């Protein structure tokens, strides 16, 4: 109702001094961050505009071939540019699997986070600890453990065969499904934790208010719970989607050589592909696309927050 209090001149000066001191104090960290984070990125950016060397590495000649190579490949015979279907397949698979991973981790993570947030405080700490246990083990080992479960002679197939649900083993290894299972498993905690934080802040009394005002359970979920815990959903989806898009180990181990994702494709350019500029260009492009996508997503997800009435 009342206008914001106007700052007096003294307050204003004090505030400016505080801002200046803040910058000075964080300067060392900012400098380190700039060198450690932006430095390598700058090198990658420069490499993306160079010419591939014969045995890997780069030769210092300016070229856009790396960037062109993201979408196009040169015909070996007549040297014309054409759309690289294989690349597009990899991009599409990466986006598809990352979106699916986000959806699956949300579907599994939301009830889990809700369950944890509604436990008594002591039990809550235990459940959160259990959720983070997989982080204690190396990613590679966890991924191989999944292999043990889903491979043709693995635990899953043995059990299903034994109880007669299936007649022949399910071929899951080296498929997109395998990659999806692996990524959902690996990234689930990253969805659960921010969702838990949001649900923990949720005022459970609002549920009764919703039911009281004729909302069914589904309506309460849709019109009360989800909009209020939306910051948690946004944070969780970003934390899952972004690393999924750049996933490297999981598709490599579970997807086999054929079901490559962008991460593996980039690695390939620095290894057997011997095309460092292409790898560098792909890395930068991925970074830009992810940043743009997140910007659009966060905008869209928070747009409805401004009240209208």
Backbone angles phi, psi at 78, to 5 degrees: -100, 5
Task: Please state the closest distance from residue 116 (CB atom) to another protein, in A.
Answer: 22
Task: Please state the closest distance from residue 163 (CB atom) to another protein, in A.
Answer: 37
Task: Please state the closest distance from residue 242 (CB atom) to another protein, in A.
Answer: 26
Task: Please state the closest distance from residue 219 (CB atom) to another protein, in A.
Answer: 6
CB burial of 225-238 (b: ≥16 within 10 Å; e: otherwise) equals beeebebbbbbbbb
For residue 309, give every residue at least 6 positions away whose Cβ sits within 8 Å of its Cβ, in sequence order, or none. Answer: none
Q: Are 180 and 95 in contact (CB under 8 A)?
A: no
H helix count then E strand count, the chain: 15, 4
Task: Please state the closest distance from residue 308 (CB atom) to another protein, in A.
Answer: 7
In this complex, which beta carbon is closest to another protein, that of residue 202 or of residue 248?
Answer: 202
In this complex, which beta carbon is closest to another protein, that of residue 86 or of residue 300?
Answer: 300
Interface ranges with another protein (CB under 8 A): 1, 203, 205-206, 208-216, 219, 223-224, 227-228, 230, 305, 307-309
Supply 173's token pair. Answer: 């290894």
Report in angstroms the alpha-carbon separations of 274 from 7, 91, 271.
Answer: 61, 20, 6
Nearest Cα neighbor of 179 from 96, 117, 114, 110 is 96
In this complex, which beta carbon is closest to another protein, that of residue 166 or of residue 209?
Answer: 209
Task: Please state the closest distance from residue 210 (CB atom) to another protein, in A.
Answer: 8
Backbone angles phi, psi at 60, to 5 degrees: -80, 65
In this complex, which beta carbon is closest to another protein, that of residue 220 or of residue 239?
Answer: 220
What is the rounded distance in angstroms from the CA atom of residue 46 to the CA atom of residue 253?
Answer: 31
Q: Are 249 and 185 in contact (CB under 8 A)?
A: no
What is the rounded distance in angstroms from the CA atom of residue 182 to the CA atom of residue 190?
Answer: 14
Task: Please state the closest distance from residue 130 (CB atom) to another protein, in A.
Answer: 29
In this complex, which beta carbon is closest to another protein, that of residue 79 or of residue 212?
Answer: 212
């Amino acid at each position: 109702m009342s206008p914001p209090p106007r700052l007096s001149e003294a307050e204003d000066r004090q505030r400016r001094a505080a801002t200046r001191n803040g910058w000075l104090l964080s300067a060392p960290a900012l400098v380190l961050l700039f060198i450690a984070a932006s430095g390598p990125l700058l090198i990658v950016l420069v490499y993306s505009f160079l010419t591939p060397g014969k045995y890997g590495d780069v030769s210092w000649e300016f070229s856009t071939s790396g960037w062109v190579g993201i979408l196009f490949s040169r015909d070996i015979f007549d040297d014309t540019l054409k759309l690289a279907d294989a690349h597009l397949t990899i991009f599409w698979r990466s986006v598809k699997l990352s979106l699916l991973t986000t959806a699956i981790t949300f579907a599994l993570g939301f009830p889990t986070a809700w369950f944890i947030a509604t436990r008594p405080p002591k039990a809550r700490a235990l459940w959160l600890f259990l959720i983070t246990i997989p982080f204690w083990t190396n990613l590679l080992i966890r991924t191989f453990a999944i292999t043990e479960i889903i491979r043709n002679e693995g635990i899953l197939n043995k059990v299903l065969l034994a109880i007669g649900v299936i007649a022949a083993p399910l071929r899951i290894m080296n498929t997109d499904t395998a990659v999806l299972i692996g990524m959902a498993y690996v990234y689930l905690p990253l969805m659960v934790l921010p969702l838990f934080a949001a649900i923990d802040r949720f005022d459970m009394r609002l549920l009764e208010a919703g039911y009281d005002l004729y909302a069914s359970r589904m309506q309460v979920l849709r019109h009360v719970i989800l909009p209020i815990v939306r910051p948690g959903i946004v944070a969780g989806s970003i934390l899952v989607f972004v690393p999924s898009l750049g996933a490297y180990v999981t598709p490599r181990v579970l997807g086999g050589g054929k079901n490559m994702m962008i991460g593996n494709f980039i690695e390939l350019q620095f290894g057997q592909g011997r095309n460092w500029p292409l790898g560098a260009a792909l890395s930068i492009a991925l970074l830009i696309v992810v940043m743009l996508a997140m910007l659009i997503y966060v905008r869209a997800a928070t747009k409805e927050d401004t009240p209208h009435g």
